[in-house]
Amino acid sequence: MLRAGIVGLPNVGKSTMFNALVANAKADAANFPFCTIEPNVGVVSVPDNRLEVLSRLSNSQKIVPTRIEFVDIAGLVKGASKGEGLGNKFLANIREVDAIVHMVRCFDDDDIIHVAGSVEPVRDIEIINLELILADLDQVDRRIAKQRKQAKNDKNAQAEVELLNKIRTVLDDGQSVRSMGLSEDEQLIIKSLGLLSNKPIIYATNVSEDDLATGNEWVEEVRKFAQDEDAKVVIVSAQVESELIELSEEETKDFLEALGVEEGGLKSLIRATYDLLGLRTYLTTGETETRAWTITAGMKAPQAAAVIHTDFEKKFIKAETISYEDLVETRSKGAAREKGLLRLEGKDYVVQEGDVIEFRIGG
Ligand code: GDP
């Protein structure tokens, strides 16, 4: 399962947001009886309205959304790369995630101490990013030292050292590896290093409930900053999300309506993270269940089938496929078949976002 780590300075609202994520996950626990949740790891469902629609068409007994994991990486402070706080341990935690959700404080509240003295999100972002860059610099230096000898008579090692030197210059200049726009081949060379400033990132701007509908000046500053990095920004309100946990469905609706929003930002954060990871969803539907499955962009039908069961890749015969839109329009696979909208795809078919599939599997 893919994993996103929530980072940010202390007191920006990470734990509040994380607790809301976990509370949502717990509400789902009935669907996932075997998932244990570690204290700082929450497994969350990816919201997808299509599941509800399909389950009605199929009279499904249940809906099973797809999931991603969020990890609360608390304790990242200025000086972490030098071992301040519990620095190294947290940096090691970040190394294991596929994407970073960087939470920044865009709310004012005199009662809540800001570790750097004032609300200034771009400065905050730069403090954390610098720690990641310094940790990378350390890692790159160690790798160069290790590979240098070997590079004398090994072409691959030579190419690696050359690339690492290029990366070193950028890091030394205070820029993230992400900003370099490395090619696929280059990414492959440095993959095993798990460089922190190379991970895809979303900035989650935590605003007060009054600013949830409109954003505020601080959010705009973050947007400007993120544009240069080609990073995404979502507006969330950790406080609103934490208040929603206690409310009934009816109360939630009224509360959100009064704020002029449809949600507290949690859902769009989950969706944005899913997109950031380059993930795609295909769907299966029947009387037993309607379910979403996660694949990566470009995956072919047999590999997509293996997400359901590893055996399915070898035993794959055909994928009976229809787009979600076509199925909703025709309302049944039977009607779709008559119109020629239900396709039988072979092993080279690249599964598309929103495909509704029934795999034919051999014995
Ligand atoms: P963390 O250190 O980043 O995990 O921050 P916490 O989630 O522990 O939040 C620190 C404090 O800020 C807590 O007292 C929260 O209740 C408060 N807080 C979190 N989000 C908001 C918010 O959106 N508005 C306000 N006013 N307070 C918040």
Q: Which pLDDT belongs to residue 33?
A: 43
Q: Are 208 and 238 in contact (CB under 8 A)?
A: no
How far, in Å, CA of 344 to CA of 332, rounded?
16
Q: Which pLDDT belongs to residue 34?
A: 42
Choice between 24 and 75, residue whose per-residue pLDDT is larger: 24
Average pLDDT (18-23) is 84
Q: Is 16 annotated as a binding residue?
A: yes
Q: Which pLDDT belongs to residue 125?
A: 94
The domain made up of 298-361 is a member of CATH 3.40.630.40: no
Counting Cβ atoms within 10 Å, is residue 363 exposed (0-12), middle (13-18) or buried (19+)?
A: exposed
| pLDDT (tens digit per residue) in 265-319 | 888 898 888 888 888 999 999 999 999 999 988 899 999 999 999 999 999 999 9
Q: Is the CB of 175 under 6 A from ligand 1?
A: no
Which atom, in ligand 1's list, is nearest to the CA of 19?
A: 7
How far, in Å, CA of 102 to CA of 73, rounded?
10
What's the pLDDT band for 77 if we cut at 50, 70, 90?
low
> In the chain, where are the structural domains located?
3-276, 298-361
Q: Which fold has domain 3-276?
A: Rossmann fold (3.40.50)
Q: Is the CB of 201 under 6 A from ligand 1?
A: no
Q: Which pLDDT belongs to residue 303?
A: 95
Calculate how far, in angstroms, residue 203's C-alpha sits from the geometric centre of ligand 1.
16
| pLDDT (tens digit per residue) in 315-347 | 999 999 999 999 999 999 999 999 999 999 999
Q: Is 13 annotated as a binding residue?
A: yes
Which atom, in ligand 1's list, is nearest to the CA of 107?
A: 24
Q: Whose CA is nearest to atom 10 of ligand 1?
A: 11
Q: Which of 239, 240, 269 to mutate to test the pocket of ligand 1 (most atoms within 8 A of CB)?
A: 239
Q: Which pLDDT belongs to residue 167?
A: 98
Q: Is the CB of 265 under 6 A from ligand 1?
A: no
Question: Taking the CB of residue 247, how many other CB atoms lie within 10 A of it?
Answer: 13
Q: Whose CA is nearest to atom 14 of ligand 1?
A: 112
Q: Is the CB of 58 under 6 A from ligand 1?
A: no
Q: Is 15 annotated as a binding residue?
A: yes
Q: Which pLDDT belongs to residue 80?
A: 64
Q: Are 225 and 127 in contact (CB under 8 A)?
A: no
Write out the H or E segment, with its range, that includes residue 41.
Answer: strand 41-45
Asked which of 74-83, 177-186, 234-243 is least confident by mean pLDDT, the reply is 74-83
- Per cent of the chain over pLDDT 90 is 62
How far, in Å, CA of 332 to CA of 135, rounded?
54
Q: Which pLDDT belongs to residue 325?
A: 97
What's the pLDDT band for 164 if we cut at 50, 70, 90?
very high
Strand, coil or helix: what is 246?
coil
Average pLDDT (135-156) is 91
Q: Across the chain, what does the average pLDDT equal?
A: 89
Q: Is the CB of 238 under 6 A from ligand 1?
A: yes
Q: Which residues touch 76 (CB under 8 Å, ≥6 apart)?
A: 7, 8, 9, 85, 87, 90, 91, 94, 128, 131
Average pLDDT (1-11) is 88
* Most confident by average pLDDT, 30-39, 42-51, 74-83, 133-142: 133-142
Q: Which pLDDT belongs to residue 231?
A: 87
Q: Which pLDDT belongs to residue 20?
A: 86
Q: Which of 6, 12, 14, 16 to mutate to test the pocket of ligand 1 (most atoms within 8 A of CB)?
A: 16
Q: Which pLDDT belongs to residue 38?
A: 62
How far, in Å, CA of 286 to CA of 270, rounded?
26
Q: Which residues touch 253 (CB under 8 Å, ≥6 apart)?
A: none
Calculate how far, in angstroms, residue 109's C-alpha sits from the geometric centre of ligand 1.
9
Question: Taking the CB of residue 145, how many other CB atoms lie within 10 A of it?
Answer: 10
